[in-house]
Amino acid sequence: MKIYLSEDVLTAARKRIAWLFDEFPQVVVCFSGGKDSCVVLNLTLEEAERRGRLPVPVMWIDQEAEWQATVDYVQTVMEDSRVQPLWFQMPMRLFNATSAEEPWLWCWNPEDEARWMRQKWPQAVTENPTDTDRFAELFPALIRHYYPNTPVATIGGVRAEESPARAMGVTMQATYKWATWGTISDRKRGHYNFYPIYDWGYRDVWKAIHSNGWTYCDIYNKMYQYGYHVQDMRVSNLHHETATKHLRFLQEIEPATWNRLVYRLRGINTVKHLQQVALEPVKTLPPMFATWAEYRDHLLKYLITDDDKREGFARKFAKLDVKYARMRSQERRHKAEIGSILANDFEFTKLGNWEASPVVATWRKYDRGDQIPLKHLQTNPYING
């Protein structure tokens, strides 16, 4: 349930950021180059300047296979005198959704220097000072490295509108004092992540950017010209399971980036040409299969070539088979599992979003015997079939 306040979201975000400066001796912006990061960066810089706490540390983990427009925008930010640049171009591994044969991109691997997407920024941090090479684990690890004994508030541009999982993550419970719009990174050290624009819509984001004249990544303009839906625009790495649709237009929008990426990573060219059918949700059951579960198992057997990953998928599906055995419309779940296979999503991001969706969450409450509003009972396909 949403509770609407009397103040606008921009005012609320400014108050939240001011409160973080009251509470924490160190504030760090985790930056992606995207529109949401643009907003939290500028709001944070405004508050820091008002308090005389410039420069603000700004952290960007460069995933190498980035839009060139994103790189150019980030460089503009990092060269701002109000910013303490923490631009990381260090070896790490990222999931590659475009190929089962090359499921990882080893970013900035010194052995692949001749194939790097581009040369490194002269002031970049090029050695990994942490004990992890996984992208999702790097942000908290880096904060622990740079601020081992200092309470830190890291500010990011996560918004609840973007996915059910994010909505649940920033609204379910308080993580620091009264604030729900954050996560605990390291309670002992006093490290927390906060998302002060968590309740913004994408229209609020663009209104704030244009009303304040803030500079933003130019790739959004090009995506808009090519007909992208506003909510589908991503500026992060180009081989992520949620970004592969961009490969359809990459060759036209940034041909030099396209040429380097095809040379750098397997699967890119194939997905570009098969995008309409390769990774989109399957709508019709092929006639040679009796059920969607049978089709799922066939794809798992023949598409996932790595034995360990195939076993991981099988274990996940078996767990879901038990957990949702009493659910109606099982084919809907099987379609979600098929989508996970087609995207080689062995980290189960897509299935995590499916489980966090409102209709599935409502089914779990129903299955536990919780009281459910009548309108939800009548419209939920997992309850009524």
Predicted confidence at residue 136, as pLDDT, reads 81
The pLDDT tens digits of the residues spanning 94-104 come to: 888 777 777 78
Same-domain status, 123 and 175: yes
The DSSP annotation for 90-120 comes to --EEEE-TT-SSS-EEEET-GGGGGG-SSPP
pLDDT average, residue stretch 251-266: 90
Q: Please, are residues 182 and 175 in contact by the beta-carbon 8 Å criterion?
A: yes
Higher pLDDT, 251 or 109: 109
Same-domain status, 145 and 15: yes
Predicted confidence at residue 233, as pLDDT, reads 84
Same-domain status, 43 and 108: yes
Q: Which residues contact 6 (CB under 8 A, 6 or more apart)?
A: none
CA 342/CA 281 separation, integer angstroms: 9
Q: Which residues contact 70 (CB under 8 A, 6 or more apart)?
A: 33, 217, 219, 235, 236
- DSSP letter, residue 233: -
Same-domain status, 235 and 369: no
Q: How many domains does the chain have?
A: 3
Same-domain status, 255 and 305: no
CA 212/CA 236 separation, integer angstroms: 24
Segments forming the whole domain that contains residue 129: 9-202
Lowest mean pLDDT among 164-173, 280-289, 351-360: 164-173
Predicted confidence at residue 4, as pLDDT, reads 65
Lowest mean pLDDT among 14-28, 124-138, 195-209, 242-256: 242-256
CA 283/CA 125 separation, integer angstroms: 46
Residue where a domain stops, chosen among 202, 231, 249: 202
CA 119/CA 117 separation, integer angstroms: 7
Same-domain status, 247 and 331: no
Predicted confidence at residue 350, as pLDDT, reads 84
Predicted confidence at residue 41, as pLDDT, reads 98
Same-domain status, 130 and 23: yes
Same-domain status, 180 and 54: yes
Which runs of consecutive H residues, i.e. helices, occur in 97-236? 135-146, 164-169, 202-212, 219-225
Q: Is the pLDDT of residue 1 over 60?
A: no
> Is residue 207 assigned to a domain?
no
CA 362/CA 368 separation, integer angstroms: 10
Q: Which candidate, 197, 160, 190, 157, places its Cα nearest to that of 175? A: 190
Predicted confidence at residue 163, as pLDDT, reads 65
Q: Is the pLDDT of residue 243 over 90?
A: no
Q: What is the CATH number of the domain that holds 117?
A: 3.40.50.620
> Is residue 90 assigned to a domain?
yes
Predicted confidence at residue 108, as pLDDT, reads 96
Predicted confidence at residue 316, as pLDDT, reads 96
Averaged pLDDT of the chain: 89
Exposure pattern of 6-16 as b/e (b: 16+ CB <10 Å)? Answer: eeebbebbeeb
Residue where a domain stops, chosen among 149, 167, 202: 202
> Is residue 301 assigned to a domain?
yes
> Is residue 2 assigned to a domain?
no
Residue type, 32: S
Same-domain status, 194 and 234: no
Task: For residue 304, give the 3-state DSSP assignment.
Answer: coil
> Is residue 4 assigned to a domain?
no
Predicted confidence at residue 244, as pLDDT, reads 73
Same-domain status, 143 and 42: yes
Instruction: Compute the Cα dihedral for 293, 296, 298, 304 and give only its sign.
Output: negative
- Model confidence, pTM: 0.78
